[in-house]
Amino acid sequence: MKFFKTNKKIKLFFYIFFICSIITIFNNNYLNDHKTNNTNIEKDETVNFQTNEKDEKIKIHFIDVGQGDSIFIELPNNETMLIDAGESSKEEVVSEYINTLGYNKINYVIGTHPHSDHIGGLAHIINSFNIEKIYMPKALSTSKTYENLLNTIYKNNKNIITAKAGIKIIDEDNLKINILAPNNNNYSNLNNYSVIIKINYKSKSFLFMGDAEILSENEILTDVSADIIKIGHHGSDTSSSESFLSKVNPKYAIIMVGENNKYNHPNQTILDRLERNNIITYRTDLNGNIVITSDGNEINVKVSR
C-alpha cells in the first residue's frame, strides 16, 4: 500500500512535470512563432520600401494626339502634371490615357499657349478630372476654343495662375519644376507666349518647349541644359536654333507631330541638325506614344511603334 502510495506520488510528480514541460514548449513555440511573425512584418516592410523606391521614378508620357501636344507626367513625389491636351477632337484620347494609368486627379495643368492643337482638349480634361492648379500665359486670343476653355475654368471655380519665367512650380531637394518662359508679356506671335517648363530630377533634366520660337529661346537667360528636350513647334524651323540646341545639349529629342500634316512638320533642316549633333530623336508620327522613365540617374525610352 505504502509502495503504491509512493508510486502514485512519483506518477503525480511526473504527470505535473509532463504538463509543465508541455506548457513551456508551447510557450516557447508561441514566442518563436511570434518572433517569426515580427520578422515577416519587417520583411514585408522591406518589400514595400523597395516598391516605393521603385515608384520614385519620373514617368513622362508623350501622348500621340496627331498634330498637337499632350504630355502627361507622373512625378516621383506622386503628383501629376499635364502639359497641353491636343485638339478637342483628341480630348478622349488624352482623358482615356490618363484614366488607364489610374488617375482621377491632376495636380498641375499647363496650357502652354492659346492655339487649339495645345489647349483644344483642355476644357474636357478640366471637366473630367479633379484639377489642383492651372498655369497659362497671359496671352490674348479671341478664338472660340480659347473662350470655351476660359469659360470652363470659370464654371469649375478654378483660377488661372499666370505662367511666366521665374515661377517655381515645385522646389524640393531632388525635384524642381521651373518655368523658363515667357520672359515678356507682349509678342506678335502667340507661339512665343509658350510656357517653357524645365524639370530637374536628381541628375537628370527635361525641357518642354511648347511652340516657343527662336525669339523666346534667345530670351532665356537661365540654364537650359537638359537630357531630353520636347522640341519646340513640332520640329518647325521657326524654333530649335543651332545655338539654342548646343546650349541644351540633349541626348534625346522628342518631336510631337501628326502624320502627313499640312505644315510639313518636322522641317528637314531641324532633323538634319538633330542628327548632326548626335541627338537621338523620337517622333509621335513614327513612334506613337513615347514613354520616358527615369530614376534620376538613368533614362529609359519606350515607344508604342
The residue ranges that bind Zn ion (CB under 5 A) are: 117, 211
- State in angstroms the smallest separation of the CB of 84 from Zn ion: 8
β-partners of residue 136 are 162
Q: What is the DSSP string of 17-45?
A: HHHHHHHHHHHHHHHHHHHHHHHHHHHHH
**CB of residue 109 to Zn ion, shortest distance in Å:** 17
Q: Residues 227, 205: contact at Cβ < 8 Å?
A: yes
User: Given the complex with Zn ion, which of 200 and 236 has the nearer CB atom?
Assistant: 236
Task: Give the nearer residue to Zn ion in terms of CB position, either 233 or 273.
Answer: 233
Helices (H), the chain: 2-55, 91-100, 116-119, 122-128, 144-155, 214-219, 242-248, 268-276, 284-287
Q: How far is the CB of 164 from Zn ion (least distance, A)?
A: 20
Query: In terms of CB distance, is 211 or 227 closer to Zn ion?
Result: 211
Place of cell 507622373: 74
User: Nearest approach, Cβ of 150 to Zn ion (angstroms)?
Assistant: 19
CA distance 29 to 164: 67
- C-alpha span between 172 and 164 (Å, rounded): 20
Nearer to Zn ion, 183 or 239 (CB): 239
Rounded to a whole number of angstroms, the minimum distance from the CB of residue 67 to Zn ion is: 8
Choice between 117 and 227, CB closer to Zn ion = 117
Of 65 and 180, CB closest to Zn ion: 65
In the numeric block, which cell numbers belong to residue 267? 522641317
Smallest distance from the beta carbon of 221 to Zn ion, in angstroms? 25
* Nine-digit cell string for 217: 529661346
CB closer to Zn ion out of 175 and 196: 196
**CA–CA separation, 292 vs 297, rounded Å?**
13
Q: Find the shortest distance in angstroms from Cβ 181 to Zn ion.
A: 15
Q: How far apart are CA 212 and CA 154, in angstroms?
A: 27
Q: How many helices (H) and strands (E) does the chain have?
A: 9, 15
